[in-house]
Homo-oligomer: A and B are copies of this chain.
């Protein structure tokens, strides 16, 4: 967690020499061109016209630069869950909320797909995923805890949060490598599957 990005008027001090977004775009390009491990932070920083030290003032690690966008969507997920009416069944509510916050504009799709392909193929990035997924899982867990009347750190809410993320990650990856359908279709299918307990006779074809 770093990255302020608050373009404030009337602020003092030396103006930023770059932005988190610029570092993100440069990193994305270099990672796809040369590979994640082969791209040093020094190179990214130089390409952005700043020093290596400055990069680490924007992001806590080299991997975090790719999770910038994802982190912001947790707030959207929480808001979507709050907006669901109380008479919608729990797993159906989760499905609606998750699918709702994953409707991307067409112009954002290529970058999203590039990012997910990197995350899905580079071990160092998969390793960095855990801490970023944590907040997402908790959002689901706390919603489930409220519905079930349990604490969020007990078995069922925890399991629901993680299982939900698990199937969504599968949907993301299928969508990222194949390009034959909308992301929401995959998510909807995956979340439907978990809500019927993966019962083969109830899985959609």
A residues with a Cβ closer than 8 A to B are 90-91, 123, 126-131, 144, 147-148, 154-156, 158-160, 162-163, 165-167, 169-171, 173-174, 186, 189-190, 193-200, 203
Docked Cα-Cα span, A174 to B151, in Å, equals 12
Q: Which residue of B lies closest to A196 (CB)?
A: B197
Q: How many monomers of this protein are in the complex?
A: 2
User: A91 with B199: in contact, given A158-B173, A158-B174 (CB under 8 Å)?
Assistant: yes
Q: Provide a sorted-by-A list of 25 A–B residue pairs whose CB atoms are within 8 angstroms.
A: A90-B198, A90-B200, A91-B197, A91-B199, A123-B130, A123-B131, A126-B130, A126-B131, A127-B131, A129-B130, A144-B198, A147-B200, A155-B170, A158-B173, A159-B167, A162-B167, A162-B170, A163-B166, A163-B167, A163-B194, A163-B198, A194-B194, A195-B197, A196-B197, A197-B197
B-chain residues with CB within 8 Å of residue A160 when the two chains form the complex:
193, 198
B-chain residues with CB within 8 Å of residue A128 when the two chains form the complex:
127
B-chain residues with CB within 8 Å of residue A91 when the two chains form the complex:
197-199
Docked Cα-Cα span, A29 to B87, in Å, equals 51
Contact between chains at B193 and A194 (CB < 8 Å): no
Say whether chain A's binding surface is mostly helix, strand, loop, or mixed: helix
Q: Which residue of B lies closest to A197 (CB)?
A: B197
B-chain residues with CB within 8 Å of residue A162 when the two chains form the complex:
166-167, 169-170
Would you give the shortest CB distance from A5 to chain B, in whole angstroms?
Answer: 24
B-chain residues with CB within 8 Å of residue A186 when the two chains form the complex:
155
B-chain residues with CB within 8 Å of residue A165 when the two chains form the complex:
166
Contact between chains at A198 and B156 (CB < 8 Å): yes
B-chain residues with CB within 8 Å of residue A130 when the two chains form the complex:
123, 126-127, 129-130
Contact between chains at B131 and A158 (CB < 8 Å): no
User: A159 with B166: in contact, given A91-B198, A197-B91, A198-B195 (CB under 8 Å)?
Assistant: yes
Partner of A174, one of B154, B166, B173: B154
